Amino acid sequence: MSAGRLRNLAFAACVAGTIAIVALTVAFWVYGFLGPPAWRVVDPDLTIYTDATRRLLGGGGWYLPRQLNGPYAIVQGVVLYPPVTAWFFAPWLVLPPWTFSAIPVAITAWAVWQLRPAPWTWPLIALCIMWPMVPLKTLRLNPSVWLMAATATGLLYRWPGVFVTLKPSLLPFALIGIRSRGWWAVAGLLVLASAPVVADTLRYPSVVLNAQGGGLMYSLPDVPFLLIPIFAWLGSRTHGPARPLQPSRAAERGSSQTTTENRGAGGHGGAEA
């Protein structure tokens, strides 16, 4: 069987697998809309943070009182993001709630389109979208949707990756772009933005450490959110590790190789003479 035929078969398998997974995903999402009560957006997660933002702007505290008095259980309603995120959640005091998930989903879709992932990544991306926590948390307006968008744009522009630091349990993913100046500049801006809420910011480490039921595995169900753009980047021919060598770099490498060969040939000729 020729190499071209094998490539065509592999492409067809990727397309067929992706279509099958997408069909299951659509069915899964429809089930989420119409099925279990736990999936229905009765009390979206966004409400936790708009309420906290409203408290903070009204002169109160960012955290619930029981989060400041020793160990507490992680249940619906507790605040697990740092108070600097109040700047981010404030627009949703007036914006329609549905935009909280719609905007990062659109940003991620655009970023994945820009990455131009190879066909072998399509089934993997579809599997991540099908992961139960992805539709569940998207429908419940959970901030994890924005961490997906931060990862996706971080793979394109580096600096947005710093926003993943706002969820410490996903810290390894925040390393995307850490070698760029933009990443550190935005990190500095986050520190400055924390100044008006410095008292609650200083309480944040103890609030996180006192949370019961968290730990390193707490955010594991959120990882498929971030893997969606990461798989796209791994298969990208424009931004990922599989991208072709740039013409200027290729020319430099070719010139360097030619120089090395010429030196070797000269040295060999001298030895023979």
* pLDDT, tens digit (0-9, with 9 covering 90-100), for 96-107: 999 999 999 999
For residue 115, tell me if it sits in a domain: yes
- The domain total for the chain is 1
Q: How far is CA 123 from the centre of its chain?
A: 18
For residue 42, tell me if it sits in a domain: yes
How many Cβ atoms from other residues are within 10 Å of residue 94's Cβ?
Answer: 7
Rounded CA gap, 108 and 160, in Å? 12
For residue 47, tell me if it sits in a domain: yes
For residue 252, tell me if it sits in a domain: no
pLDDT value of position 131: 85
Q: Which residue has the higher pLDDT, 262 or 238?
A: 238
Conformational region of residue 150, where left means phi above 0, alpha means psi within -120 to 50, and beta covers everything else: alpha
For residue 30, tell me if it sits in a domain: yes
For residue 261, tell me if it sits in a domain: no
Rounded CA gap, 29 and 34, in Å? 9
Q: In a 3-state reduction of DSSP, which class is residue 212?
A: strand
Tell me whether residue 97 is exposed, middle or buried, using C-beta atoms within 10 angstroms of its C-beta: 0 to 12, 13 to 18, 19 or more: middle
Q: Which amino acid is at 112?
A: V
In the structure, what pLDDT confidence band is assigned to residue 12 with cuts at 50, 70 and 90? low
Mean pLDDT across 35-47? 67
For residue 13, tell me if it sits in a domain: yes
pLDDT value of position 102: 94
**Domain with 50 in it:** 9-243
pLDDT value of position 269: 46
How does pLDDT run across 180-225, given as a tens digit for each residue?
999 999 999 999 999 999 999 999 999 888 888 766 567 788 899 9
Q: Is the pLDDT of residue 35 over 90?
A: no
Q: Are 62 and 88 in contact (CB under 8 A)?
A: no
In the structure, what pLDDT confidence band is assigned to residue 251 with cuts at 50, 70 and 90? very low
Rounded CA gap, 74 and 52, in Å? 16
For residue 210, tell me if it sits in a domain: yes
Q: How many residues does the chain have?
A: 273
